[in-house]
Structure formats: C-alpha cells, structure tokens
Amino acid sequence: MSQVTIESILQEKRLFPPSAEFSQSAHIKSLAEYQQICARAQADPQKFWAELAEQELHWFQKWTTVLDWQPPFAKWFEGGKINISYNCLDRHLATWRKNKAALIWEGEPGDSRTLTYAQLHREVCQMANVLKQLGVQKGDRVGIYLPMIPEAAIAMLACARIGAAHTVVFGGFSAEALRDRLVDGQAKLVITADGGWRKDTAVPLKAQVDKALADGSVPTVKDVLVVRRTAQQIQMEPGRDHWWHDLQQGVSANCPAEPMDSEDLLFILYTSGSTGKPKGVVHTTAGYNLYTHITTKWIFDLQDTDVYWCTADIGWITGHSYIVYGPLSNGATTLMYEGAPRPSNPGCMWDVIEKHGVNIFYTAPTAIRAFIKMGEHLPNARNLSSLRLLGTVGEPINPEAWMWYYRIIGGERCPIVDTWWQTETGGIMVTPLPGAIATKPGSATLPFPGIIADVVDLEGNNVPANEGGYLAVRHPWPGMMRTVFGDPDRFRRTYWEHIPPKDGQYTYFAGDGARRDEDGYFWVMGRVDDVINVAGHRLGTMEIESALVSHPAVAEAAVVGKPDDLKGEEIVAFVTLEGTFDPSEELNKELKKHVVQEIGAIARPGEIRFTEALPKTRSGKIMRRLLRSLASGQEVSGDTSTLEDRSVLDKLREGT
Ligand code: WTA
C-alpha cells in the first residue's frame, strides 16, 4: 500500500459533482442514466455488448455467438470478421475526419508532426506492405522496441492490419529483458529506432537490440526494421537490418486490412506478477477493440473537437489502449509526447497543453506528485484554460495530490476520472463517468457499465461497506485477457483460483486490496501480492530478486516495497552475500547497476541492505511482512512466532 492509508480514506468526505454545463453535453449525462445503462447491462450482458458492438464498430462479417464462456476461457463475438486497424483508420476516411488530425506528435527536442487520418492510413499501409515484403505473415509475432515517436503507433497498426501480433517492449527495458520477451513471444521481426530522446540525451535502442539478438540468442528473429530518430552511430547488420526510410521508398500505400477472426491474437504484452518471469498477457481482436472504444468514448467523454493527451508510454497497456486503439477507433485527435519534465524544461508538459490546446489530459499520480514538487509557478505561467477533463491511472492517488490536480491544473472546473484497471483487463474497469458520477478525492468511484466488480474475502463473499477485501470481477467482459501466452494453466491459477470457483461461478482476482464505502464507491489500496508499484510501473519482487542473485556476490535476496512520497513505492532489497564477499559501498552500487542491466532503470533498487541472514519461517519461507516493516522503519508487529531464528530479526533491526 502506498500513499493511501485507511485512515485518510475514512476521513475523506469531500464530494465533487460534475457541473451542469459539463453534464449537459456529456455522452452519459446523469447518475440516473448511468444506473439505467448498468441495469440494462446486468439484465442481459450479451445483448448489451452485442448492441454496442453493432453500433460502434465496423464488421466485415457479423458474429454468430456473442459469448462462449468456458471458465476461465472466454470467446467474444465468434464467427465475426473484423480488423482493428480498419476501425482505427479506414472507416474515418469515408467521413469528414479524413483530414482531421489523428495524431499530433511532439518530440523532446521541439520537433513536431501532425498526421491526419488520411496520412496516418497511408503510413500504416506502407509499413504493413514493408512487413509483408520482409516475410511477416498473419499469425506471426513482431517485437516493437521504439521511443515515443509516430512510428510506434504506425508499427502497431501496421501489424494489426496484416494480422501479425505485436509485442511492444518498453524502451526503458534492458537488452536482457528485451531478449526474454522476444524469445517467449517467438518474434519474427523487431521494429526499433537508432535511439530516442530522454531528458536531453539520445539513448541507444538499436544497440540494445543488437545485444538482445547477439549470438543468435533469439533464433526466430530474421529481420530488424530501424527507424531513424536520433541519427546516432549504429551498426547495421547486412541481410538482417533495414532502414525504414529506405524500404518505405516507393512502397505502395494500398494495403487492404486483413479480415481477422474476432478471437485472433492482436497483441501480447508482458507484465510482472508475483511469481516467475513476466507473463505474456494475450489480447484478441474484437473484444479488445470494442472495450477500448467504448471506455474511451464514455470515460474521456470524447467530443469531435477534442485534443486528447495521454502521457503514458506506448510500452505499457495504457499506451496501447488509450493512446492508440481507443482514441483512434473513436476518430479522435490523440497527442503523443516523446519528452518528460527535465532540468532544461521542467514546465514542458504545460507548454504542450498550451501549444496544442489540449482538452483532455490523462496522467499518473506519480507524475502529479512530481509536478507538485516542481512548483505551481510552472503551470500557473501557462494558459491551461483549454483543459476540460483530467484523468489519472496506474496507482492509488492520495487526496492531496488529487486536490492539487483539481485546483492547479483543472482550475476547479475539470472533472477528474481516477481510472482503475490493469494490463490484464484491457481497459478501464472502475472509474467515474465524468458527466454522471460525483467524484471523491482518492476514489476510483464505480464500475464501468457491464462490469460486475466487488470487494470480496478469499471465499468470494462480498465484504461489508468500509471493510478491506480483495478487488474482484464476477463476469467475463470483452476486453479481458484471454490467456497467458503459451501457459493457459498459469492464467487459470493466477487469476481464477485464488477465489475458489463456486457452483461454476468464476471470480477474477485482480491482486489489489480495496474497500467500498457506504455509497458503493471503490477505494483501491494497492497490491496485496508480491508486486510493487514504483512510479506507476509494475514490478515483481521475484524478478528483481532473480536479477540480484544472478550476480556472483549475492547468495540470497528479498525485495520489498517501502512507501515513498513521490513514487508511491520504493524498492528495498535485503541481500545476503556469498562467503568470499564483504559488504561495501562499491558492491552496493554495483548491485544496483546490475539490476538496471538485467531489467532496466525502472527496477533500480532505491536501497540495498546487506544482512547476514533473512528472516524465514521454519518451512523456509521468507517473511516479507517483517522486511516490509523494517524497510519502512516501522516497529515489527504481529506474530513473529513462526520465525525460525529470532536473532535474525534482532540483527536486521540493529542494521537499520
Ligand atoms: C494499479 C495499468 C489504484 C493497481 C493500467 C493495478 C491503480 C495495477 C489504479 C495495474 C488506480 C492502476 N488506483 N491503483 N486508478 N490504476 N492501479 O498492469 O495496483 O501496469 O493492479 O496497468 O496498477 O498495473 P498495470
């Protein structure tokens, strides 16, 4: 649990109803309308989703079955033929939106580009044709390791267009992490760039790809397509590596979208869990298209004149669903920004809002806390009056940060949508609909229509109001993950068996603690498993531990999260050393560097504590609860009777 404490939640009584003006022009205009839609969805979920699928999407061929639910495996809209790239592009070309800005892009050094729907369509078709020329076929997997440049969206849409599944790997991941993901996904081709801009430096990407592919360690990868971004020196391996701008020359801009089966694989996105390697979360075509489309439309209350900006990276699910697919499927103008606040330009986010007249701004609580720290003089010096709606995602937001966002950025006129969801859910699950639901600072409020979310105990029973429990979902929904790539058993175990199925009723276990208040509002408390959320990035403690023990000096490692004012949580690693190694400042630094090399900078431990032994139960399980208390400087409370050797605890205490 990070910033949000039970005490602060129980005291939080402020209520912010939407203004009459906002509600009047919103897609969903009142609480009564929201409740009516929910009632309709609950009475006949299949009819509800089928009607939306019919109204909101283009189908090459209509489905025959709305839902085939063989718990925990769902198939939506079977028999249907559809293409998400068609829904994001082609269908808008027949309307006035043809010449509307689809993508506004701001590069970090100040360059920018706007692509209309017609232009984006053209580029996507060209890249799709290039992929085909390189032998990529329907059903193949393509790795994407790109900075935040238009080609990232173009690459995703090009894959979807020809029926190749993409697996986007966040550009901040190391070569090792990239290799693992390419191997697991058996990628045939990788799309990357020479480098990308990050806080005024050109960070290498192609060099990382070279390292990941070295010595044929990913045998399935035959080709690498390289976008020129930073013009830094890179190696091009003849026969394997190709410049995108070379192959784009003269290639046809005509590439009809492949009619895909509804349940054809759209993408794999790797995410951390509490055990083992990151899992390949599988999303398929039609259900994901529908769910991201309708959530974007209603939650961000998209109007055709809006400029919409989500600050996530394309390497995370938020970038997939709410920079690319959801907004484009709606024919919206989506803004993409390569940069981040940095010493040379701490106010850059507000510059972008002012320059492009951004109307909807969606970011993470960690970013908001950083904005607060940098000072309100920065946003106050810009004209932010274009904003009409704000959103947050990725971690619980503390009421103070919420209030600052509301007052300083939103000028007390913009509703805030605090959206709870996960890589696995495909789209937003618990959220205010901004014209309908009054908000409370720190609460994600109510479930999206058609989503039956609950707070339950481990038997699956609803817990009473204001008591803690586990966030769970009762019914399948179109955007849900379908399986773990190559490991359906892991899918079942991880998500559907924590709460034992009862009478054939399966309950989805999200891994988050939550409570509902007397109004039914959800207050998400944070992860209840061994996943830590650092600056909105999700990391498995076990992954970091594996990285640490892969260093020759480390015998054992235990990683826990400790509350952090800025990042929500900070990584603390307890490490025991092999006999011949002694604790030192150098080794401490070296181990941090080693984790960065194995996973990426996002996993750098804030603190490494050397210890002689780790606290374990008699059966050999590390007692993380104790470590968590120690890491955050709290008194170790609760039962310590199962501890194998009590002196370990005393030594750890002395060390702190
Ligand atoms: C956390 C990101 C509180 C939660 C979309 C979840 C949140 C994990 C919120 C998923 C929120 C996300 N309030 N916590 N509004 N949104 N989380 O897969 O712990 O990167 O389980 O997806 O982020 O992280 P993921």
Query: Which residue type does 104 have?
Result: I
Tell me what pLDDT residue 191 has: 99
Residue pLDDT, tens place only, 449-497: 999 999 999 999 999 999 999 999 999 999 999 999 999 999 999 999 9
Helix axes 585-598, 541-549, angle to 10 degrees: 120
Q: Is 541 in the pocket of ligand 1 (CB under 6 A)?
A: no
Task: Give Cα 236 distance to the centre of its chain.
Answer: 32
Tell me what pLDDT residue 652 has: 83
C-alpha of residue 422 to centroid of ligand 1, in Å: 5
Of 173, 283, 362, 538, the residue with max ligand 1 atoms within 8 A of its CB, to mutate for a pocket test, comes to: 538
Q: Minimal CA–CA distance to 570: which of 633, 493, 509, 491?
A: 633
C-alpha of residue 550 to centroid of ligand 1, in Å: 29
Task: Report which protein residue has its CA nearest ligand 1's atom 22.
Answer: 422
Task: Give Cα 304 distance to the centre of its chain.
Answer: 25
Residue 536 alpha carbon, nearest atom of ligand 1: 23
Report d(CA 563, CA 606) in Å as an integer: 11
User: Which residue is listed with tokens 């209520």?
Assistant: 15
Q: Is 511 in the pocket of ligand 1 (CB under 6 A)?
A: yes
Residue 395 near residue 536, CB atoms below 8 Å: yes
C-alpha of residue 188 to centroid of ligand 1, in Å: 31
Q: Is 481 in the pocket of ligand 1 (CB under 6 A)?
A: no
Report d(CA 263, CA 67) in Å as an integer: 11
Tell me what pLDDT residue 635 has: 77
Helix axes 45-56, 31-43, angle to 10 degrees: 110
Tell me what pLDDT residue 1 has: 38
C-alpha of residue 524 to centroid of ligand 1, in Å: 9
DSSP 146: -
Report d(CA 352, CA 335) in Å as an integer: 9
Q: Minimal CA–CA distance to 424: which of 474, 486, 494?
A: 494
pTM of the predicted protein model: 0.95
Angle ∠(380,385,388) on CA atoms, nearest 5: 120
Residue 524 alpha carbon, nearest atom of ligand 1: 3
Tell me what pLDDT residue 162 has: 98
C-alpha of residue 363 to centroid of ligand 1, in Å: 12
Alpha helices in 494-562 (DSSP H): 541-549
Low-confidence ranges of the chain (pLDDT < 70): 1-10, 655-656
Alpha-carbon torsion 108, 109, 115, 119, what sign? negative
Q: Give the chain's radius of gyration (CA, Å).
A: 24
Q: Is 299 in the pocket of ligand 1 (CB under 6 A)?
A: no
Q: Minimal CA–CA distance to 557: which of 541, 569, 570?
A: 541
In 474-517 the beta strands, taken as DSSP E runs, fall at 483-484, 508-516
| DSSP string covering 312-381 | --TTSHHHIIIIIIHHHHTT-EEEEE----BTTBTTHHHHHHHHHT--EEEE-HHHHHHHHHH-THHHHT
Q: Minimal CA–CA distance to 69: which of 471, 426, 485, 501?
A: 501
Task: Report which protein residue has its CA nearest ligand 1's atom 14.
Answer: 395
Residue pLDDT, tens place only, 11-40: 778 999 999 999 999 999 999 999 999 999
Angle ∠(616,618,621) on CA atoms, nearest 5: 45
Tell me what pLDDT residue 273 has: 84
Q: Is 9 in the pocket of ligand 1 (CB under 6 A)?
A: no
Residue 444 alpha carbon, nearest atom of ligand 1: 15
Report d(CA 25, CA 248) in Å as an integer: 43
Tell me what pLDDT residue 647 has: 84
Residue 420 near residue 558, CB atoms below 8 Å: no
Query: Which residue type does 375 have?
Result: G
Q: Minimal CA–CA distance to 170: which of 162, 160, 161, 180?
A: 180
Report d(CA 377, CA 294) in Å as an integer: 37
Q: Is 301 in the pocket of ligand 1 (CB under 6 A)?
A: no
